[in-house]
Amino acid sequence: MISAVIPTLNAEATLEQTLLSLNGCPLVGEIIVADGQSRDATQRLAENVGAKLCFSEPGRGQQLATGAEAASQDWLLFLHADTVLEPGWESEAEDFMKHFPSDSAAVFRFALDDERFLARVLTFFVRLRTIVFALPYGDQGLLISKKFYNELSGFKPIALMEDVDIIRRIGRLRLTRFNSRAVTSAEKFRREGYIVRPLRNLLTLTLFFCGVSPEKLKIMYR
């Protein structure tokens, strides 16, 4: 069974759809919302579907780590609060949990809820990055056994790039790519631009690989 862990911070606009896509799934034993002191209806939405609420200081790395600590199931599914797994993901996940080594992890195929040309271009380049560099981001979800997660020492409570950090520790050879899509809200790209935001993300990633601390990157990323 799976513990689904969702970090939130003022996520009322998208959280409900994410929760509803998991609620009632026979593979999901519990939904954990790791909240970073939201001031909107996030906590109420979580309570309405019977999710387990836990709290930490704001920061996705810290929230993911807190949520994982509260998990009681053998498998962990980390999912962003603006991402919905498309129907059919359960069969792929079940097959993975039954037949793949326990020291492996899986991510979903990136997609946006936007069919415009620039959105499709971005989706193509994310797919390329995932295949060539084995470098998915957190908006592609992460399914991993709790045992393997603990062996890796889990998510680090860092200000930014917590997803890249754990993927690097998992390694290419222990990472599986599902065909099922994780469909993420395109609002941030519509708001900031399909060119500006990806370039900003690329700059942040490059600086991280060059050794700039996540704390400094967080200040630049705001």
pLDDT score of 105 = 97
CA–CA distance, 118 with 78 (Å, rounded to integer): 27
Task: Give the pLDDT confidence score for residue 208 in this predicted structure.
Answer: 82
pLDDT for res 8: 96
**Which residues are registered as beta bridge partners of 179?**
none
Which residues lie below 8 Å from residue 193, measured CB to CB, with a gap of 6+? none
- Beta bridge partner(s), residue 146: none
Between residues 70 and 220, the one the model is more confident about: 70
* Domains delineated in the chain: 2-192 (3.90.550.10)
Supply 185's token pair.
């809200």
> What would the pLDDT profile of 191-216 be if each residue is shown by its tens digit?
988 888 888 888 888 888 888 888 87
- Which amino acid is located at 38 in the chain? S
Residue-wise pLDDT tens digits, 63-113: 999 999 999 999 999 999 999 999 889 999 999 999 998 899 999 999 999
Tokens 């991993």 sit on residue: 144
pLDDT (0 to 100) of residue 14: 94
* Sequence-distant (≥ 6) Cβ neighbours of residue 18 within 8 angstroms: 6, 79, 80, 81, 82, 83, 84
What pLDDT was estimated at residue 214? Answer: 82
Instruction: Evaluate if residue 219 carries a pLDDT over 80.
Output: no
Quick check: 11 and 37 in contact, CB under 8 A? no
Measured at the CA of 25, the angle between CA 172 and CA 45, to 5 degrees, comes to 100
Quickly state the pLDDT bin for 221 (edges 50, 70, 90).
low
Partners of 176 in beta bridges = 106
- The structure's pTM equals 0.94
Distances (CA, A) of 89 to 6, 9, 85, 176: 17, 26, 7, 14
For 172, phi and psi rounded to 5 degrees?
A: -55, -45
% of the chain exceeding 70 in pLDDT: 99
Q: How confident is the model at residue 159 (pLDDT cuts 50, 70, 90)?
A: confident
- The token pair at 105 is 């992890």
What is the SS3 assignment for 158?
coil
- Mean pLDDT, range 137-142, rounded to an integer: 95
Mean pLDDT of 47-63: 92
Torsion on CA atoms 24, 28, 30, 35, rounded to nearest 10: -90
pLDDT at 25 over 90: no
Reported as type and span, the H/E element at residue 32 is strand 28-35
Report the chain's mean pLDDT, rounded to a whole number. 92
Percent share of the chain, pLDDT over 90? 77
Residue 164 has pLDDT above 80, yes or no: yes
Span 38-45, average pLDDT? 92
